[in-house]
Amino acid sequence: MVALVRTTDRGLFCEAGGFYIDPWKAVSRAVITHGHTDHARWGHKRYLSSPTGAVVLNARFGRQVEGLIDALPYGERQRFGDVVVSLHPAGHVLGSAQVRVEHASSGETWVVSGDYKTQDDGVSEPFEPVRCHTFITESTFGLPVYAWRPQAEVMAKMNAWWRANADAGRTSMVACYALGKAQRIMAGLDPTIGPILMHGALARCTAAYREAGVKLPGVAVATQESVRAASGRAMVLAPPSAVRSPWAFNLVKRNAVKDLATAMASGWMQIRGARRRRSLDTGFALSDHADWHGIMSSIEATGAESIGVTHGAIGPVVRFLNEKGKHAFAVPTRWEGEAGAEEGGGTGEADGDDHQEEQGLLLGEGGDA
Ligand SMILES: [Zn+2]
Ligand SMILES: [Zn+2]
């Protein structure tokens, strides 16, 4: 068996098709699983993504990718060199795709999952398992301790927390990633409790969801005026980097907010220490990645006899699968052993997802930058 996809210094490479999947350095043909910063870079000559993924890329990169994106609808097949490529919903964020690569003559089939989750979040195209010989799975939360509660239950808790804060005249602020998590939360919040406001960094991605036809409640940009006008009843959504920034402190200092309750929505909130380190009042374990059971059931559903493991708890997942008699192997990414996350500062984190969060936790205070 010849590897259809292999790791190179530019990213996952399919030599038979002449393209890279989510490359981190500029290449001539990039197949993009989804719009998070650790997967989608600008600077490639051509992009291939799902149509809604293209809406997200355009929202994130604007002119930098104008005319460079080829949109391939889910399930449609396109030939590249000696392989046929198709994209299939990954359930991670709007437009997220698993990449199926089939060798045109041998029929050998690989699927690269990208980031995925099995729970239907109501704002992303739901995950579909795809049969293949080799499945390359992400493993961000690949430990048995990670077991998500249903989204409706987590959102009911968040709404109850918001309502209690609002009744006490306390503004609520939830840290969430700008692409995916923020819109998922917007869709699940109860707008009868109070106004939903967002940090400006969430506006572009939110507009992309609306453009793609996702129904979201009305959400205004959080300014000192709009927060003050809500008289303590507002729910403010903000990227993780903004919650303990001068922007948030100014809301308090300028008396737009009398009292502020903070939380973060992330899979990492299932572990108590993660919340303490960020000095948040509470946390909601809401992840856009598969939990342990989701990873294992997805692997089973592919029917793959060979499993590549990347992006996260590689060692534990590889060992577990090998003990179960499967052929599992590590697929290294540039994140492994690399402390200096390029996305660490500035607005990068706003567009990222749980991989960056993990970097922050590993670096101690890094995630609070
Ligand atoms: Zn992602
Ligand atoms: Zn990722």
Strands 282-284 and 260-265 turn out to be parallel
Per-residue pLDDT of 325-347, as tens digits, reads: 999 999 987 754 333 333 333 33
Q: Are residues 158 and 254 in the same domain?
A: yes
Structural domain containing residue 170: 151-284
Nearest ligand to the CA atom of 287: 1
Nearest ligand to the CA atom of 24: 2
Q: Are residues 277 and 293 in the same domain?
A: no
Which domain-ending residue is among 250, 269, 284?
284
- 12 neighbors 6 (Cβ within 8 angstroms): yes
Give the H or E element holding residue 273: helix 272-277
CA of 253 to the centre of ligand 1 (A): 35
Average pLDDT estimate for 212-237 = 96
Nearest ligand to the CA atom of 359: 2
CA distance 16 to 39: 21
Average pLDDT estimate for 117-130 = 98
CA of 6 to the centre of ligand 1 (A): 20
Residue at 356 is within a domain: no
Closest C-alpha among 87, 89, 7 to residue 298: 89
CA of 39 to the centre of ligand 2 (A): 6
| pTM check: above 0.85 | yes
Nearest ligand to the CA atom of 97: 1
Nearest ligand to the CA atom of 179: 1
CATH number, domain of 15, equals: 3.60.15.10
DSSP conformational letter for 201? G
Average pLDDT estimate for 109-128 = 98
Residue at 223 is within a domain: yes
Q: Are residues 243 and 208 in the same domain?
A: yes
Per-residue pLDDT of 18-54, as tens digits, reads: 999 999 999 999 999 999 999 999 999 999 999 999 9
Number of domains in the chain: 2
CA of 179 to the centre of ligand 1 (A): 9
CATH number, domain of 218, equals: 3.40.50.10710
CA of 80 to the centre of ligand 2 (A): 25
CA distance 105 to 263: 53
Per-residue pLDDT of 191-224, as tens digits, reads: 999 999 999 999 999 999 999 999 999 999 999 9
Sheet strands side by side (includes 327-330) = 78-80, 83-89, 97-103, 109-112, 134-139, 306-312, 327-330
Token representation of residue 257: 């907010």
- 352 neighbors 343 (Cβ within 8 angstroms): yes
